[in-house]
């Protein structure tokens, strides 16, 4: 909290954004809040920007807002596309992935879409919504993106593609899964009385942190030409406050403690611009150590079990084309490559 009160992220200088010039970037969750502000920042240097939207009208409104935000001296406007994506639907994820696989190149992908609801609810696929949106959908998308990021690189020495998975510092407040299996943790979401809304949110983000760490540890980053990292901007004014039912007075008070959406967006850019990137967890503008169960050796078997159970769910719901598993060397039992 003190860090949020005493520091605010500042815009980078134009020369610091040169590495983004001419790139193609994708942001899942960019119609409001920090995601929209990030899109506005990336639109200036990037040649193409793809944003996802559940609602096509909101997506088009976001495009208009992004174009209006471009500096007057922008010589060439980027191509901005809105792709439909409903994270609560595996069919929507499958449709999105099949379109994604047709891209000739992709340099940056930010998985920013997420939910935090007060009341228990299920997705169209009958999973609890925090589990599906914040975890399962992001897992499916991350696997798909690994096969596309880095396409079009002119040489092995050119910039690798970068995947940034947006999580939450709240993951560190969630209790470790000592003595519990991955199935028990996943099944706990299915019981409306087992977890509070805060626990559902934090636990879904913790699982996402574990998945991202295991995925980053399993790939040959240099050979694949892709780097993966987890990130949280810290307390930021976003649509989630409204989703949680916060009134105007509460939002005003929280505004004192939280950075603005634009300030939060600059922390994304700083993370994406960091030289030592792969496998790291960024909290705001610095690399941090996540909670123990994400990296500690004593939780290794739990993490492997979680990966296997998760891949089994993704396979059973046909969430992504089967050839993606083959390309990434994921075994039939769901294990990541060693």
Q: What is the pLDDT of residues 105-136, one digit of tens each?
A: 999 999 999 999 999 999 999 999 999 999 99
Q: Which of 92, 203, 205, 208 is catalytic?
A: 205
Q: Is residue 335 part of a domain?
A: no
Q: What is the pLDDT of residues 63-82, one digit of tens each?
A: 999 999 998 776 678 999 99
Confidence tier at 156 by pLDDT (50, 70, 90): low
Domain count within the chain = 1
Is residue 316 scored above 60 in pLDDT? yes
How far, in Å, CA of 167 to CA of 173, rounded? 13
Q: Is residue 336 part of a domain?
A: no
Q: Is residue 253 part of a domain?
A: yes
**Backbone torsions φ then ψ of 47, nearest 5 degrees:** -85, -30
Judge whether 209 and 167 are in contact, CB under 8 Å.
yes
Q: What integer best gives the mean pLDDT of the chain?
A: 89
* pLDDT given at position 50: 98
* pLDDT given at position 44: 92
Q: Kindly state the average pLDDT of the residues 305-310.
A: 97
pTM of the model: 0.91
Q: Is residue 169 part of a domain?
A: yes
Judge whether 254 and 246 are in contact, CB under 8 Å.
yes
Annotated catalytic residue 201: yes
Is residue 4 scored above 50 in pLDDT? no
How far, in Å, CA of 19 to CA of 10, rounded? 18
Annotated catalytic residue 309: no
Residue-number span of the structural domain to which 265 is assigned: 2-327
What CATH number corresponds to the domain at position 197?
Answer: 3.40.50.720
Residue-by-residue DSSP string for 117-141: -SS--B-TTSSBHHIIIIIIHHHHH
Confidence tier at 260 by pLDDT (50, 70, 90): confident
Confidence tier at 204 by pLDDT (50, 70, 90): very high
How far, in Å, CA of 283 to CA of 9, rounded? 12
Q: Where are the alpha helices (DSSP H) in the chain?
A: 2-6, 33-43, 56-69, 90-100, 129-130, 137-146, 182-188, 197-218, 221-224, 240-243, 248-257, 261-272, 292-295, 300-316, 322-327
* pLDDT given at position 155: 60
Q: Which of 9, 89, 168, 204 is catalytic?
A: 168
How far, in Å, CA of 275 to CA of 18, rounded? 14
Q: Is residue 337 part of a domain?
A: no
Q: Is residue 334 part of a domain?
A: no
Is residue 219 scored above 90 in pLDDT? yes
Q: Which of 135, 201, 277, 281 is catalytic?
A: 201
Q: Is residue 180 part of a domain?
A: yes
Is residue 7 scored above 90 in pLDDT? no
Q: Is residue 333 part of a domain?
A: no
């Amino acid at each position: 909290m003190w860090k949020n009160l005493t520091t605010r992220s500042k815009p980078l200088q134009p020369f610091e954004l040169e590495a983004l010039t001419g790139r193609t970037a994708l942001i899942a969750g960019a119609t409001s809040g920090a995601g929209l502000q990030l899109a506005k920042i990336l639109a200036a240097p990037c040649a193409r920007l793809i944003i996802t939207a559940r609602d096509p009208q909101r997506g088009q409104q976001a495009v208009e807002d992004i174009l209006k935000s471009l500096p007057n001296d922008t010589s060439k406007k980027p191509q901005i596309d809105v792709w439909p994506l409903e994270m609560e639907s595996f069919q929507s994820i499958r449709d999105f992935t099949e379109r994604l696989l047709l891209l000739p190149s992709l340099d940056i992908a930010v998985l920013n879409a997420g939910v935090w609801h007060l009341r228990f609810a299920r997705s169209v696929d009958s999973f609890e919504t925090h589990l599906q949106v914040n975890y399962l959908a992001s897992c499916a998308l991350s696997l798909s993106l690994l096969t596309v990021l880095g396409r079009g690189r002119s040489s092995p020495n050119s910039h690798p593609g970068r995947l940034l998975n947006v999580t939450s510092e709240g993951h560190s407040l969630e209790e470790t899964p000592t003595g519990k299996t991955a199935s028990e943790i996943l099944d706990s979401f299915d019981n409306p009385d087992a977890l509070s809304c805060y626990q559902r949110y934090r636990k879904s983000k913790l699982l996402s942190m574990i998945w991202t760490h295991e995925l980053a540890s399993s790939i040959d980053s240099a050979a694949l030409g892709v780097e993966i990292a987890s990130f949280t901007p810290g307390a930021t004014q976003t649509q989630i406050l409204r989703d949680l039912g916060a009134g105007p007075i509460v939002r005003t008070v929280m505004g004192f403690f939280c950075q603005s959406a634009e300030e939060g967006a600059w922390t994304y850019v700083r993370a994406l611009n960091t030289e030592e990137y792969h496998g790291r967890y960024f909290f705001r503008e610095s690399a941090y150590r996540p909670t123990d169960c994400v990296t500690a050796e004593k939780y290794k078997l739990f993490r492997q079990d979680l990966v296997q159970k998760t891949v089994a769910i993704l396979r059973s719901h046909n969430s992504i084309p089967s050839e993606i598993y083959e390309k990434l060397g994921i075994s039939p039992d769901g294990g990541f490559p060693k």
